[in-house]
Amino acid sequence: MIKKTLVSIITPSFNQGIFIEKTIKSVMRQDYPLIEHIIIDGGSSDNTIEILNKYNDHVTWISEPDRGQADAVNKGVFIAKGEIIGWLNSDDTYNEGAIRNAAEYLSANPEIVMLYGDAFHIDDDGKIISDYPTEAFSLNRLADTCFICQPSVFLKKDVFEEVGLLDIGLQTCIDYEYWIRLGLHYSSNKFAYLKGAYLANSRMYKENKTSMMRRKVYQEAMKIQKKYFGRISKMWIKGYIKENILRMKFKLH
């Protein structure tokens, strides 16, 4: 029998009333018995608090001003009681069996510090747009691109004590920078990729941060690559140039 261990799901939130109920329900539908869902809200002014109050029996939440997404997740890590941490944004969702699959694998393989699976890009209505381009773990490959879908990731809580918390100075590439730090700290056999296991859904829509702040994404990613690898991948340079051309063409700011 595999020992059941508590899994803490941390959801940073700010004015995501349109999606957060779907996020909560995707956790509630999981078939794993030991889950705590912690929502750290940054002081939303929409209907988020009304929704959170509906689920007081299922989530632990606080709402107060914070310093952004990374700060909210870090707060959640301090509160979390579980040995395993999942980071699920307030517009993303888990698929059926995601937490059970992750918890059972990590419990059966104690040497693994981080597990991730495949994931879908979904639209506003939850319809699948495409697969997230996911690959087996390679630090060298991370120097070129981010191939790990953040909501599909589950971490041993000890990781945060050994490597540190998320960088609150970042806005858009928080996860990418953290995967690199982990890759520099641990050998590649400490990471597990559950190929073919679609654990989560990353929502893509016009107003989300990745779409609205494309230039910032490229700027942060290139800065991170330069810091840790001493170079910037051609893919990111080309993407940044293309983004700037589009902005000039359509006179975007």
Residues 199 and 218 both lie in one domain: no
32 in any annotated domain = yes
Residues 69 and 153 both lie in one domain: yes
Extract the runs of DSSP E, i.e. beta strands, from the chain. 7-13, 35-41, 59-63, 84-87, 93-94, 114-122, 128-131, 154-156, 191-203
Residues 115 and 164 both lie in one domain: yes
2 in any annotated domain = no
Predicted pLDDT at 238: 73
| Residue bearing the bigger pLDDT, 235 or 118 | 118
pLDDT digits (tens, 9 = 90+) for 101-134: 999 999 999 999 999 999 999 999 999 999 999 9
Q: At 83, which CATH number? A: 3.90.550.10
1 in any annotated domain = no
Average pLDDT over residues 1-17: 91
Reported as type and span, the H/E element at residue 160 is helix 158-163
Residues 143 and 223 both lie in one domain: no
pLDDT digits (tens, 9 = 90+) for 71-80: 999 999 999 9
Note down the domain range covering 27.
Answer: 7-206
Buried b vs exposed e over 180-214: b needs ≥16 C-beta within 10 Å? Answer: bbbbeebeeebbbbbeebbbbbbbbbeebeeeeeb
167 in any annotated domain = yes
User: What's this model's pTM, rounded to 2 decimal places?
Assistant: 0.92
How many distinct structural domains can be found in the chain? 2
